[in-house]
Amino acid sequence: MNIVIVGQGAIGSLLAARCHTQGLNYRVLGRTPTLQPIDWQPYQGEPFSFNPPAITPQTMRGDELLILPLKAYQILPALKLLKPYLKKQKLLLLHNGMGTQSEVEALLPGLPLALGITRMAALKQANRVTETGLGGTDLGWVNPPPKADCLAVEDLLDALLTPCQWHEDLKPLQWAKLAVNAVINPLTALHNIANGQLAQPEYQGQIQALNEEIAMLMRALNIQGVQDLAPRLTQVIDATAANYSSMHQDVTHGRKTEIDYINGYLINEAKRLGLSLPCHVSLYQAIKALQI
């Protein structure tokens, strides 16, 4: 089974480097048939350069594992373009936020689908891709393929994404990450600060209000882990103190953000239940205003 990595972003390039190093059968599906060469700097070890092998949608056979390490808002447009060429491929979505699952299931009903939450970290600057931290990946099937294909996919991903763990229900972990992202990402983007600066006293009132709204929504949805929201957030802020969030970087460089799939997702879920999240709505509107 060939791995097809969609895009040449930071994580896509990291995955290509891992495939190259491990000798896995893989191809990269880029915006154009001509791909960028990658100057790879692993977290540990010597740097090297390589040219990832390309694939076009027309030459896919139908039995590939497609990994989509894209921004959440890029998932649906990418799959709409690929839809005429998708037959029995297995899909893995790797992105921040939530909400793409229902979009993909509506577009491609019945196609095998898995979701992933990754803590892999990489920085891409032109052709230079630097692995900035080692982290694991949590995986879960939404629509598994037949058992033999399922085991083949899991074996491939166990090698490529090590350390990784498969879960019967990924939702609690998705919400745990969403809750962290819904505070750190927009606040650091709005105030133009590194993650660690959120530990300062001036931000604690806003952080507490945001956490309380997320906790209310999680209780209404019967999602586990409400008691862990505040300590987990503090832990991530401390552990990533020197980092700048992806949303901060998107705003800084004038790019579209994933706010619709982070705070926007929370707001929509609350509306569906007849609840309101005024602090998240205010933050959502502030980030949207920065994108205009």
| 4 contacts 26 by C-beta, under 8 angstroms | yes
3-state SS, 121-171, equals EEEEECCEEEEEECCCEEEEEEECCCHHHHHHHHHHHHHHCCCEEECCCCH
- In this structure, what DSSP letter does residue 32 have? S
Q: Please return the burial class of 3, using the count of CB atoms within 10 Å of its CB with bins 0-12, 13-18 and 19+.
A: buried
How far apart CA 139 and CA 173 sit, in angstroms, is 10
- 147 included as an active-site residue: no
Q: Which among 248, 255, 263 has a CA at the least distance from the CA of 180?
A: 263
The tokens describing 151, both together, are 């085991």
Q: Which among 129, 245, 240, 239 has a CA at the least distance from the CA of 186?
A: 245
Q: Which helix (H) or strand (E) holds 93?
A: strand 90-94
Q: What are the start-end ranges of the H helices in 9-146?
A: 10-22, 72-82, 100-107
Which member of 88, 124, 147, 177 is catalytic? Answer: 177
Which amino acid, residue 242? A
Backbone phi, psi, residue 150, to 5°: -60, -45
Residues recognised as catalytic: 177
